[in-house]
């Protein structure tokens, strides 16, 4: 995983914690979904199947966490340069 994707992943995890999306969820499921989203954003083309095999969780879990994170009303704030986030 590239350093850029790692940074995006960390920002997504920070976002999930800040908005309490991660509360009550297994940490590895949040990490897997964050990796999936960050890889997609950074055009690294990692599949849910690939990530689920490495993290030992189901693809359905990744999809569910993906939906919970990406559907949050403040998700676009991750991309705010004003806040010094992703880029």
- The model's pTM: 0.85
Q: What is the pLDDT of residues 1-20, one digit of tens each?
A: 899 999 999 999 999 999 99
The residues, ordered by sequence, that sit 6+ positions from 62 with a Cβ below 8 Å of its Cβ are: 29, 32, 33, 36, 48, 51, 52
The residues, ordered by sequence, that sit 6+ positions from 70 with a Cβ below 8 Å of its Cβ are: 37
Q: What is the pLDDT of residues 39-79, one digit of tens each?
A: 998 999 899 999 999 999 999 999 999 999 999 998 887 77
Q: What is the pLDDT of residues 71-82, one digit of tens each?
A: 999 888 777 655
Domains and CATH numbers, the chain: 3-77 (1.10.472.10)
Helix and strand numbers (H, E) in the chain are 4, 0
């Amino acid at each position: 995983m590239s350093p850029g994707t790692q940074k995006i992943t960390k920002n997504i995890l920070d976002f999930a914690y800040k908005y309490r999306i991660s509360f009550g969820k297994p940490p590895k499921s949040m990490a897997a979904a964050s990796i999936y989203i960050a890889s997609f954003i950074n055009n690294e083309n990692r599949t849910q199947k690939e990530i689920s095999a490495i993290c030992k969780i189901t693809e359905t879990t990744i999809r569910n966490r993906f939906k919970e994170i990406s559907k949050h009303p403040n998700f676009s704030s991750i991309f705010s340069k004003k806040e010094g986030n992703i880029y």
